[in-house]
Amino acid sequence: MLKIKNLHVSVDDTPILKGISLEIKKGEIHAIMGPNGSGKSTLSNVIAGKEDYQITQGTIEFEGKDLLELSAEERAHLGIFLSFQYPVEIPGVSVTNFIKTAINENRKAKGLEPMPAKELLKLIRERMELLNMDKSFLSRSLNEGFSGGEKKRNEIFQLSMLQPKLAILDETDSGLDIDALRIVAKGVNTLRTPENAFLIITHYQRLLEYIVPDFVHVLYNGKIVKTGSKDLALALEEKGYDWIKEEVAI
Ligand code: ADP
Ligand code: MG
Ligand code: MG
């Protein structure tokens, strides 16, 4: 699904990512961990197509297409979803209207008519039931006055409605309480299928107590310095990142 080869990225001429290679197949959950400032958000932003990054070397392919040729919007239409680290508040725009717009923009890009209101409502109801969400949520203003847990619930709801092929969740557990973590984990576990993939970016191991990744990668100083199974996340929780830094220094 996603193939990153020797990716080098700079911000304002400062190298941030220094040769990342990563392959994600459908059905897989990958976790990227690493200390603050190692380049995790840069990597997710570059995959999603945010501007302000200079790609100085390397390639990113998604289902055989050259992603670097495409805008963020085009990538979203191909099925790449990036959660917001700091979700924007949009007063006056309800959760329902936001999702309706997102879905219909996506359909338009594919040459489809807007989803009939009845069908949309049915889908919303199904998804809310699946995620055990309360209906009152639908009329709330987007992220306005949302608690950390509600923001996560909203993101997972968006994910469930848009059904992206690749979902990138960045730092979803930073500053979140255990309930919010569980919402995210339950959402991911409910929404994962053999056809989609998740890239979960976190600097805590806690989230991975509830989501079992197929691969854990450690990003340090702009490079993936280690790849392992979920046990690697446990080792990081126990021993921190210092042993990795020492290994890298050798
Ligand atoms: P992480 O998500 O792992 O904490 P980031 O990708 O946010 O790391 O940042 C990696 C490095 O790149 C940091 O040193 C950060 O200061 C720098 N950086 C990231 N984005 C920018 C930017 N827009 N302008 C300047 N420096 C940036
Ligand atoms: Mg950071
Ligand atoms: Mg970050």
Domain ranges of the chain: 2-249
Judged by its nearest atom, the ligand closest to the C-alpha of residue 171 is: 3
Please give the residue that has the higher pLDDT: either 202 or 214: 214
88 pLDDT higher than 80: no
Q: Compute, in angstroms, the gap from residue 228 CA to the centroid of ligand 2.
A: 22
CB 225 within 8 A of CB 214: no
Q: Give the model confidence (pLDDT) of 91-116 as tens digits.
A: 888 999 999 998 999 899 889 999 99
State the average pLDDT over residues 198-212: 86
The confidence score (pLDDT) of residue 92 equals: 87
State the average pLDDT over residues 157-186: 84
Please give the residue that has the higher pLDDT: either 243 or 4: 4
The confidence score (pLDDT) of residue 90 equals: 83
The pocket of ion ligand 3, defined by CB under 5 A, consists of 40-41
40 contact partners, CB below 8 Å, separation of at least 6: 32, 33, 34, 170, 171, 201, 203, 219
33 pLDDT higher than 70: yes
Residue 172 pLDDT class (50, 70, 90 cuts): low
Please give the residue that has the higher pLDDT: either 239 or 70: 70
Looking at every residue in the chain, the average pLDDT score rounds to: 90
Please give the residue that has the higher pLDDT: either 151 or 49: 49
Q: Compute, in angstroms, the gap from residue 230 CA to the centroid of ligand 2.
A: 22
Tell me how far apart the alpha carbons of residues 44 and 161 are, in angstroms, rounded to a whole number.
21
Distances (CA, A) of 37 to 4, 164, 166, 247: 20, 27, 24, 19
2-249 is classed in which CATH architecture?
3-Layer(aba) Sandwich (3.40)
Please give the residue that has the higher pLDDT: either 205 or 110: 110
Tell me how far apart the alpha carbons of residues 114 and 135 are, in angstroms, rounded to a whole number.
23
The confidence score (pLDDT) of residue 85 equals: 60
Mutation test residue for ligand 1: of 12, 14, 41, the one with most atoms within 8 Å of CB: 41
> Alpha carbon 106 to chain centroid distance?
18
